[in-house]
Chains A and B, each alone.
Chain A
Amino acid sequence: MELNASLSLVRPELILSFSALALLLLAAWREQAGRLISILSVGALVAAAAFVFAFMAKGTDASAFDGLLVNDAFGNFAKILVYIAAAISLIIAPRFLEKMGAMRAEYPVLILLSCIGMGVMVSATDLISLYIGLELQSLSAYVLASFARSDGRSAEAGLKYFVLGALASGMLLYGASLVYGFAGSTSFSAIGTAMNGEVGLGLIFGIVFILSGLAFKISAAPFHMWTPDVYEGAPTPVTAFFASAPKVAAIALTIRIVLEAFGSQIFVWQQIIIAVALMSIIIGAVGAIGQQNLKRLMAYSSINNVGFILIGLATGTEQGIAAMLVYLTIYVAMTLGSFVCLMQLKGKDGGYREEFADISGLSKTRPALAAAFAIFMFSLAGIPPLFGFWGKLVVFNAAVAAGLLPLAVIGIAASAIGAFYYLKVVKVMYFDDAADVIAQSDDKVLVWIGGLLAAANSPLGYFAIPALGVWTAYAARALF
């Protein structure tokens, strides 16, 4: 009975697990069915999302497996976001990977497995389940990074990601062992209880190590070094996936562990988060300036954005968490949209292009694509009236409400540095002479998805503000 109740709370993960296994069998049986399996995987994600919606409608807030996992509004919100991002990554990939000669049936299966890991991550309430979820997600990601086996850069990206990821996992585990040793439990709530009152040095060390490991996973400075290389090397659809879903999951995980386990000692972790946030914003902005490769640019952009998101966490307030979720939602739309644009940069010679020189004067040869890309860039820069502005606004609003004025002022001033390189993309596309190396688009799916995401980032997105506000506030309340 107890087991049944627990299992009923992880139905989305069960569906995904069974689908992944079944599709793996299908993949072994039919090597070339990549497209079919992709479609079925999207179906599995939709089914899982339907269960999550059912949970959200019921408003359950129940613990499963003796406190290893929790099914609450926060986790469910993050899962929906993860599933949407993963589904888009699945839909945009097949044609692209086929052209590269790298489409294999394992691609959708790996993404599904990664989604299971992410589902566990966002609902973990114990260091053990946290680690299992994180590793399942990471191991799938390592393979995905090197998915284009014939491409040396892709293999390098996978290896680099694996080695550095293992290092981060090690740090996380070391921190977890310290926390367990000094708190006497791996459960978040028990750690939270143990942390009331005086906090010993050992526990603080543990927290620092755990946060370092997590900073690696969300590619926050100073643990961001892997990001540009992996983003550049991995096939573009995979990079789009890395930049969206796992980031949502890892940030949600960070939020939960920080608030539920260490929540009572805000002074222990707040300074760390503030430092990491500001470093990420500045390194992300400055590092991007010299980049010639657009995927590397997007990598620095993601570092920069993570910094802004972490400002919400630094507040430690319900408003701050809700703001982070708003930002994350908009960020997923912005970043996926940018990568969809990048994926359409197919050269006239058939190869994919990803350098600044290739998009020179793009607005003359591909006006719609250039306009969409410009929308995403201005949105990422947080310039009103594009929707990205709203994400920055709510995060800074939370910081101001929490009295973190210096952080807000420095953060927002640094965002002007970031605007410089986003503007550079627009400048190259609109002001420079046409290089005319990009072919006309032949992929309707990309055009449609890019168009939809561009519309979401345009001022039309503002119509979503009320609904987004209600959902994120509801999700954030679950943690307090």
Chain B
Amino acid sequence: MNAADIPVLSIMLAIPVVAAAFCLFVRAEQARVIALVATLANLALGVVLWLSYDPAGAQWQFTEAATLFGPIGWRLGIDGISLTLIMLSVFLMPICIGASWTSIQKRVGEYMAAFLLMETLMIGVFAAQDLLLFYIFFEAGLIPMYLIIGIWGGQDRIYASYKFFLYTLLGSLVMLIAMLWMIQFAGTADIPTLLNTDFPVEAQKWLWFAFFASFAVKMPMWPVHTWLPDAHVQAPTAGSVILAGVLLKMGGYGFLRFSLPMFPEASADFIPLVFGLSMVAVVYTSLVALVQQDMKKLIAYSSVAHMAIVTIGLFTFNQQGIEGAIIVMLSHGLVSGALFLCVGVIYDRLHTRDISRYGGLSINMPKYALLFMLFTMASVGLPGTSGFVGEFLSLAGAYKVSTWATLIATTGIILGAGYMLYLYRRIAFGPQVNADAAAMSDVNGREMWLLAPIAVVVLWMGVYPETFLAPIRRDVATIVARVERAAPAGDSKLKLEDPTTAPYRVVHGLKKNMAEGSH
């Protein structure tokens, strides 16, 4: 197969836009079908992308370049990190459309169009190889999300939509100035070139802060996370899924793609800041999650806590930490998405997010209770689920840098078990105190189709993470090599030589032998 000649990425960007245009002019039922077909087509293309991506090939694959827009280069291309995040996006999109199949009844065409545009912009963010193009995709996502929250959201949707828009806009604008400065300095907006440009150490600090302002809001990190619970609670189910599943990952992707490799010295200097904020976030938001009465709010706060593990992992400057952070991002994208879907399932039946209105659902909704439990465990980080792999790796990486940060971040897992199990107990176990909740029917076929694929992938990632680690390993190693000159010494002061990588190499070698044997 000669995939290099077909502009797969451009096609993946174009399909949703064309479908969105159609959705605006047709009836509701047709709009749903068009949206589903378009997202499934993109998923199929994503699978093609995944299968034809060569982990040992060039760093940037499926590259495209066109000079249609003057200084804004239409340059696309992906490495393994982009690939996994694009896969996450195209995997979640059909599920989002399915989740909105019956719950969205007003202005369906516009709703589907907004989601399809969102998909284009998400893929664009991960595939852009031009700094300005990246910014356009990154920022443009605000418009459809603003409309999704504002039109189809809950009670306080207007406040939430404003807060979401203005918070993230303000964060990003300063980044734009930094980008302009970088383009002037390097003479190009080409991201692969910029990745190997050494910016002056003094300037790096300012640039790093400008990028940090944007990505920290997007991530979101404490204390600029407050837009997230509002946006999550008010957004429709599918909006929450996309927000938690993919949009938050843009922050992590930004740290990984820009902050670390472009400003290694500044990143190293600001490790205490990042770790400090992350430690506060893990403990504080976990405690806040513990006392929530609103299911969506609880999951939103747990997202902030999980994202804090991501930031700790990213700023470890070593292979385990960064790989772990990426796996946490993928895992959280799936798990929190699935949890929001689980909330959506019962919200559609009872129209309340109040935890106390439910109870004993395992009696009348056994299938639901099983799936919900799986995702709860994955969120807690139980071995065998995706959550464990990512959290373990990133914390193992963090241990090399700061034992204290690791200690505190690990309490997040304990607290996470606390609030998630407490949530599960209140919803699924105990007596059936509410008659209307006890009368709810179990998940139907459509809902099963939404949740089961995620459950499969969550287990897959937990049992055989190599599938997901293989494409990113080399690219993470590239980043680690790039930042090595500024890597922190670490406080664990191990007597033996580097125990974290030794067994890892053995496993890696084993894989290679097995792979070669199978040829």
A465–B70 touching, CB < 8 Å:
yes
Contact assessment for B139 and A462 in the assembled complex, using a CB-CB cutoff below 8 Å: no
Contact flags B122-165 to A (C-beta < 8 A → 1, else 0) = 00000000001001110110110011001100000110011001
Cβ of A271 to closest chain B Cβ, rounded Å: 21
Question: Does B169 have its Cβ within 8 Å of any Cβ on chain A?
Answer: yes
Q: Is the CB of B166 within 8 A of A420?
A: yes
Interface 0/1 of A445-480, CB less than 8 Å to B: 000000000000000001101100100000000000
Give B177's nearest chain A residue, CB to CB.
A408
- Given the known interface contacts A400-B180, A430-B151, the answer about A413 and B173 at a Cβ–Cβ threshold of 8 Å is yes
Docked-complex contact B139 and A384, CB < 8 angstroms: yes
Option from B136, B165, B166, B177 in Cβ contact (under 8 Å) with A389: B136
B116 to chain A, nearest CB (A): 14
Set of chain B residues within 8 Å of A423, measured between Cβ atoms:
146, 162, 165-166
| Contact status B69-A465, CB under 8 Å | yes
Q: How far is the CA of A328 from the CA of B457 in the complex (A)?
A: 52
Given contacts A393-B132, A400-B181, A469 and B71 within 8 Å (CB-CB):
yes
B-contact 0/1 string along A395-424, CB 8 Å cutoff = 011001100010011001101100110010
A412 close to B176 (CB less than 8 A)? yes
Nearest Cβ distance between residue B403 and chain A, in whole angstroms?
38
- Cβ-based interface call for A107 (8 A): no
Given contacts A462-B69, A463-B68, A463-B69, contact A431 B150 (CB under 8 A): yes
Beyond A385-B140, A423-B146, A427-B161, whether A413 also contacts B174 by CB under 8 A is: yes
Contacts of A427 in B (CB 8 A): 150, 158, 161-162
With A389-B136, A408-B177, A465-B70: A383-B184 Cβ-Cβ less than 8 Å: no
Judge whether A412 and B157 touch: CB under 8 Å.
no
The answer, yes or no, to whether B370 is at the interface (CB within 8 Å) is no
| CB of A216 within 8 Å of the partner chain | no
**Which positions 61-93 of chain B face chain A at CB distance < 8 Å?**
67-72
The answer to whether B481 has its CB under 8 Å from any CB of chain A is: no
A431 touching B161 by the CB < 8 A rule? yes
Q: Do B69 and A385 touch (CB < 8 A)?
A: no
Please give me the residue from chain A that is nearest to B184 by CB atom.
A401
| A400 proximity list for chain B (CB < 8 A) | 177, 180-181, 184
Cβ-defined contact, A415 with B135, below 8 A: no
Is the beta-carbon distance between A385 and B170 smaller than 8 angstroms?
Answer: no
The chain A residue with its CB closest to the CB of B173 is: A412
Give the chain A neighbours of B68 by CB distance below 8 A.
462-463, 466
Give the CA-CA distance A408 to B175 in the complex, in Å: 11
Q: Give Cα A207 to B181, complex, Å.
A: 32
Among candidates B72, B150, B180, residue contacting A430 with C-beta atoms closer than 8 Å: B150
Could you tell me if B136 and A431 are in contact, using CB atoms closer than 8 angstroms? no
B140 touches A383 (CB 8 A): yes
A345 to B: closest C-beta gap in Å: 21
On whether the beta carbons of B169 and A416 are closer than 8 Å, the reply is: yes
For the complex, what is the distance from the CA of A396 to the CA of B181, rounded to whole Å?
Answer: 10
Of residues 158 through 200 on chain B, the ones whose CB sits less than 8 Å from some CB of chain A are 158, 161-162, 165-166, 169-170, 173-174, 176-177, 180-181, 183-184
Residues of B within 8 A of A431 (CB): 150-151, 157-158, 161
**Chain A residue contacts of B169, Cβ below 8 A:** 383, 416, 419
Which residues of chain B come closer than 8 Å to A389, judged between CB atoms?
A: 136, 139
Q: Say which residue of B70, B143, B180 sits within 8 Å of A396 (CB atoms).
A: B180
Q: How far is the CA of A400 from the CA of B132 in the complex (A)?
A: 15
Q: Contact between A430 and B69 (Cβ–Cβ < 8 Å)?
A: no
Chain B interface mostly helix, strand, loop or mixed? helix
Distance of A401 Cα from B184 Cα, bound (Å): 7
How far apart sit A405 and B209, CA to CA, in the bound complex (Å)?
A: 15
Please, which residues of chain A bring their CB within 8 A of the CB of B158? 427, 431
Q: Is the pair B165, A396 in contact by a Cβ cutoff of 8 Å?
A: no
What is the chain A residue whose CB lies nearest that of B180? A400
Q: Once A and B bind, how many residue pairs between them come within 8 Å at the CB atom?
A: 85
Once the chains are docked, how many angstroms separate the CA of A415 from the CA of B176?
12
Instruction: Decide if A378 is an interface residue (CB 8 Å cutoff).
Output: yes
Report the bound CA distance from A384 to B143 in whole Å.
9
Complex: A431 Cα to B68 Cα, angstroms: 36
The interface size bin for chain B is 20 to 34
CA distance A453 to B137 in the complex (A): 23
Query: Does A384 lie within 8 Å of B135, measured CB to CB?
Result: yes
A426 and B71 CA atoms in complex are apart in Å by 30
Interface pair B170/A430, CB less than 8 Å apart: no
A419 to B164, CA, bound (A): 13
Distance A338 CA – B173 CA, assembled complex (angstroms): 24
* A393 & B184 in contact (Cβ 8 Å cutoff): no
Inter-chain contacts of B166 with A (CB < 8 A): 416, 419-420, 423
Task: Give the residues in chain A near B165, CB-CB below 8 Å.
Answer: 419, 423
Q: Are A466 and B151 in contact (CB under 8 A)?
A: no
Shortest distance in angstroms between A179's beta carbon and chain B's nearest beta carbon?
Answer: 36
Chain B residues within an 8 Å CB radius of A462? 68-69, 72
A380-396 residues at the B interface, CB under 8 angstroms: 383-385, 389, 393, 396
Which residues on A sit within 8 Å (CB–CB) of B173?
A: 412-413, 415-416
Nearest chain B CB to A31's CB is how many angstroms away?
45
Measured between beta carbons, the chain A residues less than 8 angstroms from B72 are 462, 465
Contact present for A465 and B71 (CB under 8 Å): yes
A431 to B150, CA, bound (A): 6
Please give, as numbers and ranges, the residues of chain A lying within 8 Å of B177 by CB-CB distance: 396, 400, 405, 408-409, 412
* Neighbouring B residues of A469 by C-beta, 8 Å: 70-71
Q: A408-B177, A427-B158, A431-B158 are in contact. Are A383 and B132 (CB under 8 A)?
A: no
Contacts of A412 in B (CB 8 A): 173-174, 176-177
Known A396-B180, A416-B173: A466·B136 in contact at CB below 8 Å: no
Query: Do B174 and A384 touch across chains, with their CB atoms under 8 A apart?
Result: no
Q: How far is the CA of A397 from the CA of B157 in the complex (A)?
A: 36
**Which partner residue on chain A sits nearest B185 by CB separation?**
A400
B111 to chain A, nearest CB (A): 12
CA distance A385 to B157 in the complex (A): 24
Provide the residues of chain A in CB contact with B143, threshold 8 Å.
378, 383
Known: A400-B181, A400-B184, A462-B72. A383 touches B176 (CB 8 A): no
Q: Of all chain A residues, which has the CB nearest B167?
A: A416
Enumerate chain A residues within 8 angstroms of B70, measured Cβ to Cβ.
465-466, 469
Cα–Cα, bound, A420→B146 (Å): 12
| Closest partner residue, chain A, to B135 (CB atom) | A384
Assuming the contacts A416-B166, A416-B173, A427-B161, asked whether A384 and B136 have C-beta atoms less than 8 A apart, the reply is yes
Please give, as numbers and ranges, the residues of chain B lying within 8 Å of A385 by CB-CB distance: 136-137, 140
Contact across chains for A430 and B147 when beta carbons are under 8 A apart = yes
Interchain CB contact under 8 A, B170 and A405:
no
Given contacts A393-B132, A431-B157, contact A466 B180 (CB under 8 A): no
Please measure, in the bound complex, the distance between the C-alpha atom of A466 and the C-alpha atom of B72, giving whole angstroms.
10
Q: With A and B bound together, what is the CA distance between A413 and B165 in angstroms?
A: 14
Measured CA separation A416–B183 after assembly (Å): 23
Q: A385-B136, A419-B169 are in contact. List 10 more A-B contacts (CB 8 A).
A: A385-B140, A393-B176, A396-B177, A400-B181, A413-B173, A413-B174, A423-B146, A427-B158, A430-B147, A466-B68
13 contacts between A and B (CB under 8 A): A378-B143, A383-B169, A384-B135, A384-B136, A384-B140, A397-B184, A400-B180, A409-B177, A412-B176, A413-B174, A419-B166, A427-B150, A463-B69
Across chains A and B, which 9 residue pairs bring their CB atoms closest together, nearest first?
A: A465-B70, A384-B136, A466-B70, A400-B180, A385-B140, A416-B170, A431-B150, A412-B173, A462-B69
Interface residues, chain B, with chain A CB atoms under 8 Å away: 67-72, 132, 135-137, 139-140, 142-143, 146-147, 150-151, 157-158, 161-162, 165-166, 169-170, 173-174, 176-177, 180-181, 183-184
